Structures are given as C-alpha cells and as structure tokens.
Amino acid sequence: MAYLVAVTDRSLNSSPLELTAFCVRGEPISYADAIRGQFTRIKSGDAWGPPWSTTWFHVRGRVPEAWLGRRVVAQFDLGFAGPTGFTCEALAWKEGKPWRGVDPNHRWLPIHGPEVDFYLEAAANPRATEHGAEPAPSMLALREAPEPAFILREAVLAIHKPDSAGVGEASLDHSHTITAVGHAHIDTAWEWPLREAKRKVAHSWSTQLALMDEYPDYVFAASQPAQYQWMKESYPDIYRRIKEKVVAGQWEPVGAMWVEADCNLPSGES
C-alpha cells in the first residue's frame, strides 16, 4: 500500500512505511482538525472508506542509510480501480501545506532527507454509475456516407508519402511553431458532490505547482475563475503559489467565462 522506493539505474529497492489512519464520515474537515484526530494503525490490504468519506493517513518512516544520496520516492496504491476521476484520490500535506496529488497517474511522492513524515487526505469516491457512461452502440446511426471524410483521408495519405518533397517545400511558407502547454480539464460540477470538485482542483493544481518547481520551463494553463476563487477561499497557500507562478510566466490563466461552457452551447473553453 505504501513503500519507500530507492531508484537506481539498475534496480529498485523498497522498504515499507508506517501508516496510521483516521476516518471522517460526511463532510471533509480541515488539516488542523484532522491531525488532532484519533489515528489507528493500518496495514497493506486493509479496507478503508466507506464511500464518500475521507480518510487521513499519517505516513511516517526513515530512509535507510544506504539509500541516502540516491533518488528516493514514496509509492502508494490506495486501491486504485479505474482511471483518474473514477476511483480514490488523495492530497498530500507536508508541514501543514498542500503538497502534491496522489491518484492512478501520480502514485509516488519525492522524498528528500532521512525522515518521512506527512499526511494524505484520501477521498473514497466510487464511480457514480455502475456501468460507466459510454454511448450504446444501438443508438448510433449513419445517415449518409461522409464523402468529405474520404476526400480528406486521400489528401492526408498523399502528403505523408516519404518522397513527397514537393509538398514539404510548398508548406514551408505556412509552417507554424507549436508549443506544448499543460492543462487539466476539471469539470466544476461532475458526477460527484461539489465538494469533491474543489478537492480535485486542489490536488491537481498542487501537483502542477510542484512540477513547475522541478521544471522551470514547464507552463500550465487553467481556465474557470470559479475554481481560482475556490483556491483563494479554501486553499490560500495554493492560491498564493499560483500568483507567484503567473508572475514567473509559468501559469497562464485563460478563458473568459466563470465556469466552462460545457452545456448546450459548447465552445473552445470546454
């Protein structure tokens, strides 16, 4: 469930971490209240929950002396059973501040120094619909042959021939510079309680801020001022760090609508 892992060019070495847990039913509580809770020992394989509750894990340990100076991470499996957004997730707190998110795509946290001591605010969020929300094949109907699609396909095949130098030269005057910018599309109101959207934003954006510290050239863009307002009210440290990254040119606030236009009139913001 939780291990320290020493990473080298040739091997992985692991050492278990000590975990204690405190379950909060109903609405989430603050970090200050959580750390005063009654924590009990929990081991790998133990059940935690129940659905829509919050479990705070206190993670402690010590990096073996032989690992000092090597790259060490804390690796977690909270019982991930699906893609991000459809399973349990967590926000790591370090020294009283939001640190990074833990989810199926982000299962490890970097460890610096000999002592390990932080908290995970883990949300036990089940999938809202038992069988997902994919369209039923019987509901799809092709009304007419998509002639333009066939024409476009022939054009694409033509310009991707290895010997089409003429096509390549003709496109030089119209070439573009493409820049990759990070983005996390987070529905403001989704298949979970609104409170979970707020926590999702906090855990996703704290991860992006950590990546910016690690990679100074990394740029991230996020829309929806409503979500910035959430951070300002509930996670002031994240909001402060976002403002610092905006000034540094690593965070791009984008969009013109309070929430995404992801309804009957979709737009580029959704």
pLDDT of residue 66: 87
- 115 and 188 inside one domain: no
pLDDT of residue 42: 92
Instruction: Examine residue 100 and state whether it is found in any structural domain, yes or no.
Output: yes
Which among 182, 210, 185, 181 has a CA at the least distance from the CA of 197? Answer: 185
Instruction: Examine residue 82 and state whether it is found in any structural domain, yes or no.
Output: yes
Q: What Å distances lie between residue 242 and 11, 120, 237, 264, CA to CA? A: 37, 22, 9, 31
- Phi (first) and psi of residue 119, to 5 degrees: -120, 150
Structure tokens that stand for 118 in this block: 């932080």
Instruction: Examine residue 264 and state whether it is found in any structural domain, yes or no.
Output: no
Domain that holds residue 222: 182-253
- 6 and 84 inside one domain: yes
- 115 and 9 inside one domain: yes
Instruction: Examine residue 258 and state whether it is found in any structural domain, yes or no.
Output: no
pLDDT of residue 266: 59
pTM assigned to the model: 0.78
Q: Looking at the 3D structure of the chain, how many domains does it have? A: 2
Instruction: Examine residue 224 and state whether it is found in any structural domain, yes or no.
Output: yes
Instruction: Examine residue 160 and state whether it is found in any structural domain, yes or no.
Output: no
pLDDT of residue 165: 63
Contact 20, 52 (CB under 8 A): no
Q: How far, in Å, CA of 5 to CA of 70, rounded?
A: 10
- Phi (first) and psi of residue 108, to 5 degrees: -135, 155
pLDDT under 50: residue ranges of the chain: none
For 135-184, the DSSP string reads PPGGG----S--HHHHHHHHHHHHHT-TT-HHHHHHTGGG-------EE-
**Which of these three, 105, 123, 141, is where a domain ends?**
123
pLDDT of residue 69: 85
Instruction: Examine residue 110 and state whether it is found in any structural domain, yes or no.
Output: yes
- 100 and 23 inside one domain: yes
- 117 and 189 inside one domain: no
CA 25-91-227 angle, 5° bins: 95
Q: How far, in Å, CA of 66 to CA of 11, rounded?
A: 14
β 54-62/71-76 pair status: unpaired
Give bridge partners of residue 21 from the DSSP assignment: 40, 57
pLDDT of residue 68: 85
Q: How far, in Å, CA of 237 to CA of 128, rounded?
A: 31
pLDDT of residue 87: 77
pLDDT of residue 37: 96
- Phi (first) and psi of residue 71, to 5 degrees: -75, 120
Instruction: Examine residue 133 and state whether it is found in any structural domain, yes or no.
Output: no
